[in-house]
A and B are shown apart, each in its own frame.
Chain A
Amino acid sequence: MNFAGITWDVFRVSAEVTTLATVLCVLVGTPLAWRIARSRPAAASMLSSLALLPLVLPPTAIGYYLLYGLGRQSAFGQFLIDDLGIRLIFTWPGAAIAAAIVSLPLYVRTTQAGFEQIDPDLLAVARTMISPQRVFWRVAIPLAWPSLAAATVIGFARNLGEFGATIIVASNIPGETQTIPTAIYDATQAGNHGLANTLAALTLLIGIVLLSLLALLFHRTQRTRQL
């Protein structure tokens, strides 16, 4: 399908990349944030710095490292491609991994703040009754869920807009790895201002929806805290 020069593939690929990247963020970032929130100060600051590293690197540098790490130049990449048959370079899952790494610091920071707000007395009492794993599922997750949800929305938004790392790892192949941001880049380069305009307006619309969702979650958080 085609409308005003937009192929729907751009949205399909963007949705796939963003969803997978957000899932990766949640799966890796949540336990990491919990670990940071529960660690002694020294260990926590070390883990925290590690989790923040992607924030201080240019996304293109992250993309470059990923290209090297997942490609045939590295031993790990060779193992992935030759032994497991997993090719990530120039594929949309590769783009998702790149986006997830870039947005991980934002996700971890927000989630960690939620975990740190839980009353330490609650966790202490819980720990005397159930295993640490159950404390995580039965106390930490239910009490920090507004922060987790907010972090997921923020991560999702960041993943949707990821450009630098994505374009290096996955390139900009229409129908395969071309996402909304890379399509805007393409359209601008080609002088197709109508297309660039439409795509940019769409991102603006999605952005407003996501921000409204965040505001709603923030409101929920405030209310839960008052209880």
Chain B
Amino acid sequence: MTLEVAIDRRLSDFRLNVAIQAAAGELVVLFGHSGSGKSMTLRSIAGLDRPDAGRIALNGHVVFDASRGINLAPHLRNVGLVVQRYALFPHLTTAQNIAFGLTGWTREAQARRVHELGALLSLDGLEDRLPHQLSGGQQQRVALARALARPVDVLLLDEPFSALDEALRADLRTELLRLRAEVDIPIVFVTHDLREAHLLADSIAVLDGGRVLQHGPREEIFRHPASRRVAELTGVRNLFAGIADGDRVLVEGLPLRVEPVPATAGPVDIAIRAERCLLRRFDPDGPLPENCFVADVTADLAFGNSHTLRLHPMGAGPAVEVETAARPYEVLGIAGRQRWVVELPAADLIVMPRS
């Protein structure tokens, strides 16, 4: 592991206690709402905030160890930092901003490095501009170039794209994915944007109230949240209380088969993502297949390329939110009928310990 963080910080009204790791070339997303401690974690790694206890090692170098009294100054830690509002030095040109941290380099070496990064981040022709003469997207590219100019052991990104508009954000995300392949260092990316987290992350640490609730590969976080809170934070809309018994979980009077078989019996939390729920045509005379129940549409929210439907059960079963893409919505003719059969596929149901 080239990034190892285990820190504890006590403030009067907040306690941060997190442990995260990342390998070279791995992009780890610190995901959480504001106030969850994700930015403070980043600042601690950078040395801008001092934890009360713990240890931080970057590329094998211990930069902080409370028990041994080690606390390296930020500029000795070899970190590259990019913040939300670019923070370019307003009195310096693009080239001077990029070369800012290259103290002790010869003029030629600095110029060469600035040129390399300009090419890497498509900044050609902007070298002599001042920050206020650059667009938001260009400014953030310069900030990235500046953070990567020195040979750093970790790249720290604190909500770097949230001040940009949607189209630019998409461009820069793609750019970051390309960049990640070229720099062989761990990247820590702080965000509260679920879609961004899913797009960029190799692994995700879900933070809430100063603690890491779950830390693992992206798919694991999204497919197998460890708790009700993680499921909520990662955008799961359907969360129910249930009673597990063998491979069945009883939810609102409806026995649902689940895969795999839950490890424990008794009270559990059970969840399913809105986009994993299926709708079938209702046939009053036909049999009701496994994991299906009858429900009426009570709300239909159109988001352009998708619809979110709220359905209320007509008997046993939970009230659910179902997300369906615009095309199947039209093919099925959902707008014209109120009564549907909802299927909750066994493999898409997530069973978690009751919290």
CB distance from B56 to the nearest CB of A (A): 14
In the complex, chain A residues whose CB is within 8 Å of the CB of B87: 119, 121-122, 124-125
Does B46 contact A128, Cβ atoms closer than 8 Å?
A: yes
Does B74 contact A128, Cβ atoms closer than 8 Å?
A: yes
Cβ-neighbour of A128 out of B47, B90, B130 (below 8 A): B47
In the complex, chain B residues whose CB is within 8 Å of the CB of A128: 46-48, 74-75, 77, 79-81, 101
| A129 part of interface (Cβ distance < 8 Å) | yes
Residue tally, chain B, CB below 8 Å to A: 27
Does B75 contact A127, Cβ atoms closer than 8 Å?
A: yes
Does A227 contact B48, Cβ atoms closer than 8 Å?
A: no
Does B100 contact A129, Cβ atoms closer than 8 Å?
A: yes
Does B91 contact A125, Cβ atoms closer than 8 Å?
A: no
Which residues in window 89-137 of B have CB below 8 A to A?
89-91, 100-101, 103, 130, 132
| B168 part of interface (Cβ distance < 8 Å) | no
Give the docked Cα–Cα distance between A227 and B92 (Å): 12
Give the docked Cα–Cα distance between A26 and B89 (Å): 24
In the complex, chain B residues whose CB is within 8 Å of the CB of A213: none
Q: How large is the interface on A (under 10, 10 to 19, 20 to 34, 35 or more residues)?
A: 10 to 19
| A142 part of interface (Cβ distance < 8 Å) | yes
In the complex, chain B residues whose CB is within 8 Å of the CB of A129: 75, 100-101, 146, 150
Give the docked Cα–Cα distance between A142 and B91 (Å): 7
CB distance from A100 to the nearest CB of B (A): 29
CB distance from A175 to the nearest CB of B (A): 46
Flag the segment in A130-138, A147-155, A178-186 that touches B. A130-138
In the complex, residue of chain B having the shortest beta-carbon distance to the beta carbon of A132: B73
In the complex, chain B residues whose CB is within 8 Å of the CB of A126: 89, 100
**Using an 8 Å CB-CB cutoff, how does the interface string of B130-157 with A read, 1 for contact, 0 for none?**
1010000000000100100010000000
Which residues in window 61-97 of B have CB below 8 A to A?
73-75, 77, 79-85, 87, 89-91
Contact residues of B: prevailing secondary structure: loop
| A81 part of interface (Cβ distance < 8 Å) | no
Cβ-neighbour of A125 out of B47, B73, B81 (below 8 A): B81
In the complex, residue of chain B having the shortest beta-carbon distance to the beta carbon of A134: B103
CB distance from B84 to the nearest CB of A (A): 8
* Known contacts A139-B89, A143-B91; is-contact A130 B83 (Cβ 8 Å): no
Give the docked Cα–Cα distance between A126 and B74 (Å): 9
Does A127 contact B48, Cβ atoms closer than 8 Å?
A: yes
Give the docked Cα–Cα distance between A116 and B342 (Å): 59
In the complex, residue of chain A having the shortest beta-carbon distance to the beta carbon of B46: A128
Give the docked Cα–Cα distance between A126 and B43 (Å): 13
Q: B77, B87, B150 — which one has the most chain A CB atoms within 10 A of its CB?
A: B87
Give the docked Cα–Cα distance between A124 and B80 (Å): 11
Does B73 contact A124, Cβ atoms closer than 8 Å?
A: no
CB distance from B92 to the nearest CB of A (A): 8
In the complex, residue of chain B having the shortest beta-carbon distance to the beta carbon of A225: B90
Give the docked Cα–Cα distance between A119 and B80 (Å): 18
Does A124 contact B91, Cβ atoms closer than 8 Å?
A: no
In the complex, chain A residues whose CB is within 8 Å of the CB of B146: 125, 129
Give the docked Cα–Cα distance between A62 and B83 (Å): 47
In the complex, chain B residues whose CB is within 8 Å of the CB of A130: 75, 100-101, 103
Q: B46, B73, B74, B77 — which one has the most chain A CB atoms within 10 A of its CB?
A: B74
In the complex, chain B residues whose CB is within 8 Å of the CB of A125: 81-83, 87, 143, 146
Give the docked Cα–Cα distance between A54 and B43 (Å): 39
CB distance from A170 to the nearest CB of B (A): 41
In the complex, residue of chain A having the shortest beta-carbon distance to the beta carbon of B84: A121
In the complex, residue of chain A having the shortest beta-carbon distance to the beta carbon of B82: A125
In the complex, residue of chain A having the shortest beta-carbon distance to the beta carbon of B83: A121
Give the docked Cα–Cα distance between A23 and B103 (Å): 30
21 A-B residue pairs with Cβ-Cβ distance under 8 Å, sorted by A, are A121-B87, A125-B81, A126-B89, A126-B100, A127-B47, A127-B48, A127-B74, A128-B46, A128-B48, A128-B80, A129-B75, A129-B100, A129-B150, A130-B101, A131-B73, A131-B75, A132-B73, A138-B100, A139-B89, A227-B90, A227-B132
Chain B residues close to A by CB (< 8 Å): 43, 46-48, 73-75, 77, 79-85, 87, 89-91, 100-101, 103, 130, 132, 143, 146, 150
Known: A124-B48, A132-B73. 11 other contacts (CB 8 A): A119-B85, A121-B83, A124-B43, A124-B46, A124-B83, A125-B81, A127-B47, A127-B75, A128-B101, A130-B101, A130-B103
